[in-house]
Amino acid sequence: MVYLRIASALIALIYWIAEPIGGDGSLVNSLIKASCVTLLAVSVVPSGRLMLVAALALGAAGDYLLSRPGDIMFMAGMGAFAVAHILYVVLFLSLPTRMRIVPMVALVAYGGLMAVLMWEGAGALRVPVMAYIVVIIAMGLAALSRARSEQFWVLLAGAGLFILSDTLLATRLFLWEGEAAFPGAFLIWPTYWCAQFALMWGFDRSRA
């Protein structure tokens, strides 16, 4: 299944550096975007890690939904990612634990700061956005609570990159008010795809 992972990486790279095919919001663009994580999900199927497959598949569904126009699609995409994060939490909790109080408190504080900053800008989406912040911070806490293992740093990097990517996306959507394009926008996609790849790789090679 290594070929599927290579194909995912190549498509993700092309999607990142090329102008959206068919324009932003086009069906073709949405399908290309969703195909990247879909290929990662399919590559895990032979391992029998069905919860990991489901988490990745929900991520792919979220990619598709968030790339479609309208608030309903946005909320559906956010919901798909929220459930994916919950599955990642369960996967993290299936591994040996070790509490790291200082970084965990720091992460909770970071989540609180993001909630305060996003409160006004989220507008009508305030409730789902706040709920999503809780879920993704929970995923980060679960990653920090894992014991050191061969895949510890890969999984921690995956969780960290996911939080970074979502922070950049939320900043662009709810905080950025300048007329110029948000300067961090070009990092949203590569940090997201690398996060999914790291989580896929780490969990696929971990043993509960």
Locate the domains of the chain by residue range.
Answer: 2-204
**pLDDT digits over 54-109, tens only?**
999 999 999 999 999 888 999 999 999 999 999 999 999 998 888 889 999 999 99
Q: Identify the pLDDT of residue 138.
A: 97
One DSSP character per residue, 116-173 reads HHHHHHTGGGHHHHHHHHHHHHHHHHHHHTBPP-TTHHHHHHHHHHHHHHHHHHHIII
Compute mean pLDDT per 10 residues along the chain, 208 residues long, and list them: 94 85 72 95 95 98 93 93 97 88 95 94 90 96 88 94 96 81 88 97 82
Percent of residues, the chain, with pLDDT higher than 70: 94
- pTM (2 decimals)? 0.92
CB 12 within 8 A of CB 6: no
Q: Identify the pLDDT of residue 20.
A: 58
Task: Give the alpha-carbon dihedral of 188, 41, 54, 149, to 10 degrees.
Answer: -80
Q: How far is CA 67 from the centre of its chain?
A: 14
> What span, in angstroms and rounded, lies between the C-alpha atoms of 100 and 146?
9
Average pLDDT, the chain: 91
**DSSP class of residue 26?**
-
